[in-house]
Amino acid sequence: MNRINQLFEEKDSNLLNVYFTAGYPNTADTRTVLESLDASGADLIEIGIPFSDPVADGPVIQRSNEKALAQGMSLKLLFEQLDGMREKVKAPVILMGYVNPVIQFGIEEFCKECQRVGVDGIIVPDLPLQAYLDDYKATFDDYGIRNVFLISPQTSEERIRLIDEKTDGFIYMVSDAGTTGARKGISEAQLTYFERIQDMKLKNPRLIGFGISDHDSFSTACNYANGAIIGSAFVNSLSEAEDIPTAITNFVSRVKNG
């Protein structure tokens, strides 16, 4: 069974998904960050594939992408770094990236490498549902790779139902209209949206992301979904970290326990 499906079978609340950019703060840090997150109790781990033009990302993740690329990070190198990770890492691992580097790598080759190193799923924000179904799904399915779709407050009910039908993993709920990055708290309008989706009784579990930065916003999000995703706040903490494993243990503990 895919580790993503297995995780949600075993645990259905307060799940913490942490995002970090591959090759950041330094090229050789990918494995350290990954293994420290796993050891610290992150339930899912999302690894960003750096891209020159990340349109869905806010300033913090943009800068981490730029720095990683400037230091020589690439998708090919990422798969080399992830080689053998399953000897240590237990959590489901998801790659998050834009479609162009994946196309250049080759869709089939990409899926093959994901399967080889033990990646369980992928999030490609600029690969829309229809293009995925037409041109990608068959290959992803062949290699057992789950594709995670985003929904936002503007997504129509009809479309959410369609995405739910086509998803086998989880649904990524973008918390409000915006790119990734910290915001000030969670608003009434967002809570109304969270409740609306909760009431739809979707078949897939949901994680809330974008604007989740600390224990408070994490706990609030967890009241309305199976868990939440933290990216920019974590990337920020890495950029200031003196000792990566310690910083990660503290970060994950602060988010989970306050």
Partner 1 sequence: MAVSFEVSEKGYYGKFGGAYIPEMLYPNVEELRQSYLQIMADPDFQADFEDLLKNYVGRPTPLYFAKRLSESVGAKVYLKREDLNHTGAHKVNNTIGQILLAKRLGKHKIIAETGAGQHGVATATVCALMGMECIVYMGEIDMERQKPNVERMRILGAEVVPATSGSKTLKDATNEAMRHWIQHPTDTHYIIGSVVGPHPYPDMVAKFQSVISEEIRKQLLEQEGRENPDYVIACVGGGSNAAGAFYHFMDEPEVQLVATEAGGLGVDSGKTAATTSIGTEGVLHGSKTILMQTEDGQIVEPYSISAGLDYPGIGPLHAHLFDSKRGTFLSITDDEAMEAGVKLSKLEGIIPAVESAHAFAALEKMEFKADDVVVVNLSGRGDKDLATYIKYGKY
Interface residues toward partner 1, by CB under 8 A: 51-56, 58-59, 62-63, 66, 69, 74-76, 98-105, 125-131, 149-152, 154-156, 159, 174, 177-179
108 is catalytic: no
Nearest C-alpha neighbor of 60 from the set 173, 182, 184, 185: 182
User: CA dist 190 to 59, 84, 177, Å?
Assistant: 22, 40, 10
Taking the C-alpha atoms of 194, 197, 202 and 207 in order, what is their torsion angle to the nearest 10 degrees?
Answer: -30
The half-sphere exposure of 77 on its side-chain side, counting CA atoms within 13 A, is 18
| Candidate list 57, 109, 141, 157, residue with the active-site label | 57
CA atoms within 13 Å, Cβ hemisphere of 226: 22
CB of 62 vs partner 1, minimal distance in Å: 5
- Output the smallest distance, CB 248 to partner 1, in A: 27
Handedness of CA 72, 125, 171, 194 (dihedral sign): positive
Least Å distance, CB 178 to partner 1, is 5
The amino acid at 53: D
**CB-wise, 127 or 145, nearer to partner 1?**
127
Q: Which residues contact 208 (CB under 8 A, 6 or more apart)?
A: 173, 175, 194, 221, 224, 225, 227, 228, 229
29, 38, 43, 46: the catalytic one is: 46
Query: Which residue, 9 or 135, has its beta carbon nearer to partner 1?
Result: 135
For the CB of residue 40, give the shortest distance to partner 1 in the complex, in Å: 30
214 flagged as catalytic: no
154 or 246: CB nearest partner 1: 154
Residue 108's CB: how many other CB atoms inside 10 A? 12
| Smaller CB separation from partner 1, 60 or 119 | 60
The catalytic residue positions are: 46, 57
